[in-house]
Amino acid sequence: MKYSVIVIFLLLAMMSCKHAVIFEDERSISNASWHQDSTIEYKVTITDTLTPVNVLYEITNNNDYPFSNLYLFTRVEFPNGKLIQDTLEMVLASSSGKWIGKGWFGSHKTTFPFRMNIRFPYIGIYHFKVTQAMRCPSKKLNGVTSFGLKIKRR
């Protein structure tokens, strides 16, 4: 009886966490090489303007990634045509060179806040466009294997 109560509690906790996610999409980056001209786009349908949410970016890199940080350009187009643009720095490694993200076998996934505790002002489709903004001589950023966007209820 005691174990069944624990199992039920854990199942309910896991299900409630999944309901907190209102959008989640992770895109693989071909050959783990993100070209500066390659934009990752997400179309997010928002139906709730009252609930506060957190907008998160998730980056997965391997040990071939040559830097300790990653700069991104982000453009978000609102359903009414309004556009916001931002530059974001994601720190991927500590000053000692140790990767911050969780992972195994040379793959490291790190989650970063883009916007926290916000409310989307309009119902409709929001377009998120993300490009890497690192200064690489070949314009190719090696070692990035995937990039994701996650929107969760607070």
The whole-number average pLDDT for the span 129-136 is 95
Query: Whole-angstrom Cα distance, residue 58 to residue 74?
Result: 14
Q: Does position 12 have pLDDT exceeding 70, yes or no?
A: no
Domains and CATH numbers, the chain: 22-153 (2.60.120)
> What confidence score (pLDDT) does residue 2 get?
62
| Largest Cα span, the chain | 63
> What confidence score (pLDDT) does residue 32 get?
95
pLDDT grade for 101, boundaries at 50, 70 and 90: confident
pLDDT tens for each residue of 36-64:
999 999 999 999 999 999 999 999 999 99
pTM metric for this prediction: 0.84
Q: What is the overall mean pLDDT for the chain?
A: 91
Q: CB neighbours of 40 closer than 8 A, spacing ≥ 6? A: 27, 129, 130, 131, 147
